[in-house]
Structure 1
Amino acid sequence: MADIHPTASVAEGAVIGDGCRIGPGCVIGPEVVLEDNVELIAHVIVEGRTRLGAGVRVFPFATIGMAPQDLKYKNEPTGCVIGAGTLVREGATIHRASVGGSGITTVGANCMLMAVAHVAHDCVVGDGVILANNVMLGGHVHVDAGAFIGGGAAVHQTVRIGRLAMVSGLAGVTNDIPPFGYVFGLPARLVGFNKIGLLRRGASRDQLRTLRDVNNLLFKEPGEFSAKLAEAESRYGADPLVAEIIAFVRNPARRRQLVRPGRMAAPELGGVEEENGDGS
């Protein structure tokens, strides 16, 4: 029930679902599972203990499940999972996990990884995430659902990026970004929140005003951060979006500091702040 080009190499033991299309020059390893209707257009390599969810589409010269770029890795039986409906464009690389993590590199459902994006070992990428061209995620990075990372941005290992956060192109991210945050620059600085992304997902104008007030309280007003966080929880904690930010900040699994506040550096990009920042 699968359409496999004669020049493709599918190892014995690989599981190929119904309706899969495997194009010319593709190489599929013996422990790979392709769920139904996966399409590998041409010259795609899928190796290791890798599972591609239903309807995943992979463009030429992408590699998925190859060994991690980690000198500690000694061919341990780690894996890689790609969620249903995800699109992987030309030359993208997604490595299987190394040691010292969960053992699985995960990319969620309905994501888009544009050309030459890189997802390193042990990353966890949530549903609906977009990685633009040449984005680089270091090892053990967590990107929550709906986040957008602009072209050429580099994210340091172990960084956590909250839900619906937005990272500008060419940003250098070395610290954690709270949910809905918008960061810009090298090093990346928090310059607002993802207003347009929130509106598209049903946030009300009142919620946006609340997030603006919380953003100002936490990142612009003077004072000790822990005290400001407690005040934000007391005044606005009933709002689910604010509660999500507070839970992210207090997550004991975080290993890096929060991104620092800043301002847009380039006047010609002011429209980006207006559309995606706090509008102030």
Structure 2
Amino acid sequence: MDLHQALTSFALYEPCLLVKTGIADLWRVRDSQQRDLVLKLYHSDDMGNEAPGVALMQIWAQSNPRPVPHLYHVTRNAIVMDFIKAGTLGQAMRDGHWAADEALATFAADLHNVPLPPVVGLPALSEWFHVLFQITFAPDCPDGTKRDMRRASELARGLLQSQSNIRPLHGDLHHDNVFCSDFGHVTIDAKGVLGEPAYELANAMRNPKGCAARLYDKDLQINRLDIFARHLSVDRTRLAQWAAAKCAWSMALRAKGTQKADPEADLLSLLLNLADEA
């Protein structure tokens, strides 16, 4: 389905491109009721690895209060959903509102309290981490990065083998994926994965972007770890370990098989230290 076909099929008008990603174009559109909506149109014939997350969001969309935007149409390669005019928790953090960490943690806990029927088709966390386990190192990769990537890989293996209370997770829950809407916080871009709750806010420990001074402050990160673990009622050591493992996974994904120097290497080192001391 191309843009013209989507506009015709869903009776949408006035397309305005919001952003192009590697897998989809997002358009701000209007419908016959003059509602502002978002059309997410995938470049391929399907949603690829985002399909599990969309399936999970469809289930969440039936709950009350609803933790996701209203989904008006979902096809193999297109989604029409509410346009959220409010800002994200990430923007709140960049504006200096540090209570956004508490808001994110509260939202994550509420999300996990939503009753869910059996959700089929979600990948296991272990499937995601193959990219980290298979990483090799370029000749010029810094020794410290090699050491930390190997340490994080060991942590990830141990975590995956000892998970408990495995459940459907958002999989990419961080500040810039949570909007402050008129009817409460809502999340977008769920990846959909089966894992333990301690993983859910691992990525939040390296977010939001644009807050480097806060992310690299060990005392502040310890405080964030306490907030996230307390609200999710999970072991803070496991959450810290997942944060380091997730950071290394993201580095490996960027490396595309061969690890070199990476801008998050220092953050990985800090998160590993937190995991050791938690």
Please report the TM-score for the alignment, with normalisation by the length of structure 1: 0.31
Structure scoring higher RCO (CA < 8 A, sep ≥ 6) equals: 2
**Greater strand proportion:** 1
**Greater helix proportion:** 2
State the structure with more CA Rg.
1
